[in-house]
Amino acid sequence: MSTTPTVTPASGESRMLIDGQLVDARSGKTFDNVNPATEQTIGQVADASSEDVSDAIAAARRAFDTSDWATNHALRRRCLEQLHAAAVEVQEQIRSELIAEVGCPIAVTRLAQLDAPLADGLLWPARTIDSFEWERPLADAEAFGVPSWRRVVKEPAGVVGAIIPWNYPTEILINKLGQALATGNTVVVKPAPDTPWSATRFGQLIAERTDIPAGVVNVVTSSDHLVGEQLVTDARVDLISFTGSTATGRRIMAQGAPTMKRLFLELGGKSAHIVLDDADLEATLGFAAFGACMHAGQGCAMLTRVLLPRARYDQGLDVIANSFSMVAYGDPTDPNVIQGPQISSRQRERVLGYIDKGLSEGARLVVGGGRPEHLPVGWYVEPTLFADVDNSMTIAQEEIFGPVLVVIPYDDEDDAVRIANDSPYGLSGAVSAQSEERALAVARRIRSGTVSVNGGVYYGADSPFGGYKQSGVGRQNGIEGFDQYCETKVISGSATP
């Protein structure tokens, strides 16, 4: 296994972007950015206080209310194309910063962490500006005896507070910025304290490499989570676009109620992979461990519950256990590695706590279950496999956000669907079978926002992504996502000649 780093050393942007200027915090305070693989501080970032956030909101409000950003389609398209080109130019630098602050393996940056969203996350919304139905006529009508013409008009929601988690920070930033800006909103971005460089780098590119007017995008970094809450409670913000945990999403919903905030919430998941009884187990499960351990299991849509038919349970479990022996984990700069560290020691303790809970509730530990002895530095957890799991156990119901896979037996197809849907979450899922038709019929019965059939990939800027139930409200990407950043207005006029 090669251990030669293939990336340039990271050095992130420490300044925020407020009203077109790259600035330090008013207080001058900074906080540490820490590499989870080395536990070393890799740099400093501005530590915003409430005053800085208020400045950013004021700038976004002013830019929305007084500039032509909300109505100038050509300017928006050009600016998004400029931002895309600027980001592509420094793609390798972004990659190295991501690896350093997120601890994500370089292999993962070539997928959803960076390369995939950068390919179309800004350009698809930019192109959609030209094809979106901004206005549509309704038939003339006569209500209350008044003959009238009527027109439905789509307008930007206003000031968007974009709150971002640490697990896929650049991916989520790109997908929020692309859609919110294409639809004519102004934005205040608030990255997670663990991964601020992902957002400050884009702030620097916006300030120095695009014609995006001052105040249209603002980036505030803070060690204090409540800076995010300020965006939620401030009446000058119209819409909160949040990606993160269901617990925080719930709190945002409550805190946003007094100002009737428009909410777009992308939350957690506990997605099931149903393997039907005629599936080719080797082909279907040969990579099960990769799906669960990639990026240390820190993905919202990962398939963390595998449902096997009771009659083929032992056979399927053997294939899965074998796939665990092939998971390369460790140094995220190693191109062979697919699992790096957890983001923080707190997260590692949380994952280990779930593993203990699985043991105490009677699940059978097949692989892993602790801290790897050969990786004493970095917040690592062993790839972990539990068998004989009952779906009512904590490790089957709650999102662990670690490299932990649980395998659950089922009796028949109805039982499999019942177990898959017996979850507070409904973000994603998968079905595998010999016959695509049969798998598709089961996929239609799963209550989740995305389902993969026989390994299909639903990902893309044109593909609406989001959850049923407690996995969220609304969709990221696609026309459905685009529309969510808009308000709907009906204008009518007298049709009397």
Nearest to 423 by CA among 256, 307, 288: 307
Structure token pair of residue 119: 């390919």
Stretch that binds ligand NAD, among 20-28, 131-139, 212-220, 243-251 (CB under 6 A): 243-251
Nearest to 286 by CA among 412, 455, 458: 455
Asked if 49 interacts with ligand NAD (CB under 6 A), we say no
Out of 31, 168, 202, 379, which residue is the one contacting ligand NAD (CB under 6 A)? 168
Stretch that binds ligand NAD, among 85-93, 121-129, 266-274, 320-328 (CB under 6 A): 266-274
Q: How far apart are CA 74 and CA 85, in angstroms?
A: 17
Stretch that binds ligand NAD, among 77-85, 160-168, 178-186, 378-386 (CB under 6 A): 160-168
Q: Which is nearer to ligand NAD, 225 or 447 (CB)?
A: 225
439 to 67, 259, 287, 311, 413: CA distances (angstroms): 51, 44, 19, 18, 10
Residue 162 C-beta: closest distance to ligand NAD, Å? 10
Which one of the listed residues 79, 104, 293, 300 is annotated catalytic?
300
Q: How far apart are CA 304 and CA 481, in angstroms?
A: 26
Residue 222 C-beta: closest distance to ligand NAD, Å? 8
CB atoms closer than 10 angstroms to residue 137 = 9
344 to 264, 298, 404: CA distances (angstroms): 27, 12, 17
Contact 87, 202 (CB under 8 A): yes
269 to 223, 254, 465, 471: CA distances (angstroms): 26, 21, 12, 6
Structure token pair of residue 162: 């974009």
Stretch that binds ligand NAD, among 179-187, 237-245, 308-316, 434-442 (CB under 6 A): 237-245
Question: Which residue sits closest to ligand NAD, CB atoms considered?
Answer: 228
Q: Which residues of 441-466 are buried (b: 16+ CB within 10 A; e: fewer)?
A: ebbebbbbbbbbbbeeeeebbebbbb
266 catalytic? Reply is yes
Binding pattern to ligand NAD, positions 449-468, x when CB under 6 A? ------------------x-
Which one of the listed residues 266, 293, 382, 486 is annotated catalytic?
266
Asked if 371 interacts with ligand NAD (CB under 6 A), we say no
Q: Which is nearer to ligand NAD, 167 or 323 (CB)?
A: 167
Contacts (CB under 6 A) with ligand NAD, residues 8-27: none
Asked if 245 interacts with ligand NAD (CB under 6 A), we say yes
Q: Which residues pair with 365 in a beta bridge?
A: 386
Nearest to 347 by CA among 297, 397, 294: 297
Phi/psi for 138 (5° steps) reads -100, 160
3-class secondary structure, 371: coil
Stretch that binds ligand NAD, among 10-18, 71-79, 162-170, 453-461 (CB under 6 A): 162-170
- Which residue's entry shows tokens 């539990």? 386
Asked if 239 interacts with ligand NAD (CB under 6 A), we say no
Asked if 78 interacts with ligand NAD (CB under 6 A), we say no
Asked if 481 interacts with ligand NAD (CB under 6 A), we say no
Report how many residues bind ligand NAD under the rule CB under 6 A.
29
Asked if 113 interacts with ligand NAD (CB under 6 A), we say no
Stretch that binds ligand NAD, among 85-93, 238-246, 348-356, 411-419 (CB under 6 A): 238-246
Out of 472, 474, 478, 481, which residue is the one contacting ligand NAD (CB under 6 A)? 472
**E strands along 194-323, which residues?**
217-219, 239-243, 262-266, 271-275, 303-309
Out of 46, 300, 389, 396, which residue is the one contacting ligand NAD (CB under 6 A)? 300
Out of 163, 292, 352, 433, which residue is the one contacting ligand NAD (CB under 6 A)? 163
Helix axes of 197-209 and 73-89: crossing angle, nearest 10 degrees: 120
Binding pattern to ligand NAD, positions 180-209, x when CB under 6 A? ----------x-xx----------------
Q: Which is nearer to ligand NAD, 266 or 334 (CB)?
A: 266
Binding site for ligand NAD (CB under 6 A): 163-168, 190, 192-193, 225, 228-229, 232, 243-245, 248, 251-252, 266-269, 300, 399, 401, 427, 467, 472
Active-site residue set? 266, 300
